[in-house]
Structure 1
Amino acid sequence: MSAAEPPGDGDHQLLVLIDPLARRYDGESVRIAKDVLSAGAHAKICFADGPDEFARALSRRGSRRPVVVGDDHALLRAVSQLHRERELADSVLSLIPVGAAHTLELSYALGVPRGAVAAARTALDGARRRLDLLVDDSDGVVLGELRIPAAAPSTGPPHTVWDTCRTLVASLVRPAPASPSGPARAHRLRVEADGVLLNDLDQPVEGLSVAAQGDGGLADVVVRTASGETRAAEAKAVTVSGPDFRYRADIQVAGPVRTRTWTVHADAWGLVLPAADV
């Protein structure tokens, strides 16, 4: 994280992007946020009906500063789009968190206030903070943490597509517990941090985490081996390769891939946070 930036001339020209899921989840919080923002700034309100309309409105924002009303998915969608359009460096975002608690863990970890009123006031009067970003070699972004945990042991074929998805997500969210069928299956991965080998294919990995420090343009890399060893490093770029593996980037599951490189982009995006916290 860099030092806070002073307000710009366009700070009170807002584009308020309201995610449709936020309206369905808590319409009252959405109304409160809209009223607070409209009372304190020239706010153009966009009730996006879906991702396509959300993307079009963001692309046509002009000089208006985007304020996203929604959850972690909505925030990540906005950052990803601005990154693809190569406009992230010149943009700053605000978030009004509306959604279930488990869909806002990333936003709260970044310092976004809880509650529509506090977050809306921060969008109006908070301080802009530049944050580091992890970008992979397929142009995907990670705002918080990347994780590759051990795969859960097989307990027989799932009965439905939903069972498959639920099993996959559960294994990526938390380490798999021991089961009567045997211990969790570890990954065989080669992990390099700035070209330095942290782990090779002959040493199974039970978990890997990569997170931008937020300051200094480096990432913290932690490898947990099946033998119980922990290997840590700081690096600008991290490359993981091996047999097909999946990974969790923030709230999204991706893969399978055989190799992927993540690179830290220092001060790559801006988020408005409470001035007292900056």
Structure 2
Amino acid sequence: MYDVVLLTLSSERDAPGGGCGSGGACCGGGDTSDGAGPPKQTEERCDTPRVPVLACADALTARGARVETVTARSDAEIDEVLARLDAPARPDGLTWPDPDSKTRLVVATASDAQLRAVLRRLVRRYAPPPSRRPAELAGNRTVPDLPPIGVLPLDPARSGTRRDLPAQLGLPRDPAAVAAAVLDGAPRRLDLLRNDAGSVTLDGALLGAADDAGRPLHWRGRVEVDDAVLSDGEEPILACAIGNAGGYAILDGLPLLTGPDPTDGVVEVAVAVPVVTRSALGRKRIRFEVRRARGRAVAVVPRDEKVPFLDDGVGGELSRKRSWWTEAGAWAVWTG
């Protein structure tokens, strides 16, 4: 039978940036737009409800699993848990995940940002330095297949109010169903976006912001997807969506991402720009043009001083070039 670790992230985590890689709290800001406009960062209550965790632990124990619950207050404490997924020592000295591990991990998440925080630590643990890249690592990957994890959403009501990542992926939310998926289910491999700031993206990122009245603020930047240029940096941009899944697919009723798929091995990018047209009577009208592209990588070079963004629900400001690239099938979740 399996050893199962139920990992919860505390709101009191002491690591800089809370391990989210963007300088925000570990729980991050919530996307309160619901597709009605550019999202704004909000504070999200991080007090972990214990009932779903205990219910999941009871369901696992009833099936004969040895269960331990851990609350991590720092990146170091997350790393202590992840170390249980390591393979035996390798001759080359690399830390590597054990594909035959009898330990399974369940992450209890109050937000997508908390799930991302754990994945970020997994990447940091198992990504080999470029100078020590092993021969068995696929040519289009910088990390090996990361260990599958179970996801226990701590807000069951969110499935009907906000499309968080577990809802988008169709993962179970009931603690007993999560336990069954971890013990009896199969791993579903998903794409991961890495970026050159050292973080990861599971769902997507949205660059742009709104003023206090909800009006979008225009910004300028060069946006490239592989060899396709979506904006040369000279025109105003309403928003730029970088999608792995579909969390930022619609902005104020305007479709940005048409078919984001976290299993297709590519990133979908959309840029919305205002276009001025004139009617037959000479009246000026403004419409929004959406330019889209898919590829392996995307680079954004802001021309303005700071561009606000949300990445998996965590807010930040972009002041220099940022690149995201796809790691196809790099992470996995247990599904029923």
What residue in structure 1 maps to residue 267 of structure 2?
219
What residue in structure 2 maps to residue 152 of structure 1?
210
Q: Are residues 13 and 104 of structure 1, via their aligned partners in 2, closer, same or farther at CA, if it must alter by over 3 Å?
A: farther
Task: Give yes or no for the alignment of 1:54 onto 2:78.
Answer: yes
Task: Give yes or no for the alignment of 1:269 onto 2:331.
Answer: yes
Aligned partners of 2:188 and 2:332 also within 8 Å: yes
2:319 alignment partner, SS class:
strand
What residue in structure 1 maps to residue 236 of structure 2?
204
1:189 to 209, 216, 221: 221
- Of all paired residues, the percent bearing the same amino acid is 27
Aligned partners of 1:41 and 1:124 also within 8 Å: no
Task: Give yes or no for the alignment of 1:17 onto 2:56.
Answer: no
Gaps of 5+ in 1: 1-10, 156-175, 179-183
What residue in structure 2 maps to residue 161 of structure 1?
none
1:92 to 109, 125, 148: 148
Aligned partners of 2:85 and 2:147 also within 8 Å: no
What residue in structure 2 maps to residue 234 of structure 1?
294
What residue in structure 2 maps to residue 106 of structure 1?
165
Tell me the amino acid that sits aligned with residue 263 of structure 1: W
Structure 1 residue 224 displacement after superposition: 0.4
Structure 1 residue 238 displacement after superposition: 0.4
What residue in structure 1 maps to residue 186 of structure 2?
127
Structure 1 residue 93 displacement after superposition: 0.6
Tell me the amino acid that sits aligned with residue 78 of structure 1: V
Structure 1 residue 262 displacement after superposition: 0.5
Gaps of 5+ in 2: 12-44, 87-100, 128-143, 245-260, 276-287
1:45 to 68, 92, 109: 68
Aligned partners of 2:189 and 2:263 also within 8 Å: no
Structure 1 residue 75 displacement after superposition: 1.7
What residue in structure 1 maps to residue 284 of structure 2?
none
- Give, in whole Å, the separation in 2 of the partners of 1:142 and 1:84: 14
| TM-score normalised by L of structure 2 | 0.64
Task: Give yes or no for the alignment of 1:81 onto 2:81.
Answer: no
- Give, in whole Å, the separation in 2 of the partners of 1:271 and 1:75: 11
CA offset digits 1:243-270 (Å, max 9, x no partner): 2223211121133322101001100101
| TM-score normalised by L of structure 1 | 0.76
CA offset digits 1:106-162 (Å, max 9, x no partner): 22222221222222222222220110011111221000111112x334x6xxxxxxx
Structure 1 residue 216 displacement after superposition: 3.1
2:214 alignment partner, SS class:
coil
The farther-off stretch of 11-20 and 130-139 is 11-20
Aligned partners of 2:191 and 2:330 also within 8 Å: yes
- Give, in whole Å, the separation in 1 of the partners of 2:316 and 2:114: 17
- Give, in whole Å, the separation in 2 of the partners of 1:54 and 1:103: 27
2:220 alignment partner, SS class:
coil
The two structures, once aligned, show a CA RMSD in angstroms of 2.5
What residue in structure 2 maps to residue 177 of structure 1?
214
Q: Are residues 215 and 26 of structure 1, via their aligned partners in 2, closer, same or farther at CA, if it must alter by over 3 Å?
A: closer
Which one has the bigger helix percentage?
A: 1
The farther-off stretch of 244-253 and 43-52 is 43-52
- Give, in whole Å, the separation in 1 of the partners of 2:146 and 2:201: 18
- Give, in whole Å, the separation in 1 of the partners of 2:52 and 2:290: 44
Q: Are residues 41 and 209 of structure 1, via their aligned partners in 2, closer, same or farther at CA, if it must alter by over 3 Å?
A: farther
- Give, in whole Å, the separation in 2 of the partners of 1:40 and 1:103: 32
Aligned partners of 1:70 and 1:98 also within 8 Å: yes
